[in-house]
Amino acid sequence: MTHRELLVRTHSKEECLNITNMVAEAVSQLGKDEGICLIQVPHTTCGITLNEDADPDVIKDILRSLKNLVPDRGNYDHLEGNSPAHIKTSLVGSSVGVILEGGHLLLGRWQGVFLCEFDGPRQRRVWLKII
């Protein structure tokens, strides 16, 4: 196996988990010095995004805003009832590329990596691949 898998436990129906440190540690274990790191979730009801790492209110505002855009109850056909989670996943995205340099993810000063849980709580997987 040439990629790396992280396991992440979420605790609410919806939350954005800051996984920056977890990802950074796994990346350093991969031992590559430079390249591009792809961070991918193999799920269809949670996404991955880069956003502000400093004030946790930012990520709360993002979740609330997404809920306003894609209301829990609406005219959905999918019988499992989690269509809003699927829709938010396609809005936020399932993978993100980040530059790697000097063995570290190259993030902006305020950037962190977040797993966006839209249909938890569950155990989620995050895959990392560097090339």
Measured CA to CA, the distance from residue 125 to residue 97 in angstroms comes to 17
Q: Mask of contacts with its own copies, 56-95, x by CB under 8 A? A: -xx-xxx-xxx-xxx---xxxxxxx--xx-xx-xxxxxxx
* Residue 123 found at the interface with its own copies (CB under 8 A): no
Indicate whether 104 belongs to the interface with its own copies (CB under 8 A): no
By CB under 8 A, tell whether 6 contacts its own copies. no
Q: Is 19 in the site for its own copies (CB under 8 A)?
A: no
Are 96 and 35 within 8 A, CB to CB?
no
Q: Tell me if 8 sits within 8 A of 124, measured CB to CB.
A: yes
- Write down the least CB distance from residue 91 to its own copies, Å: 6
Judged by CB under 8 A, does residue 107 bind its own copies?
yes
Q: Where are the beta strands (DSSP E) in 45-122?
A: 46-52, 95-101, 104-105, 111-117
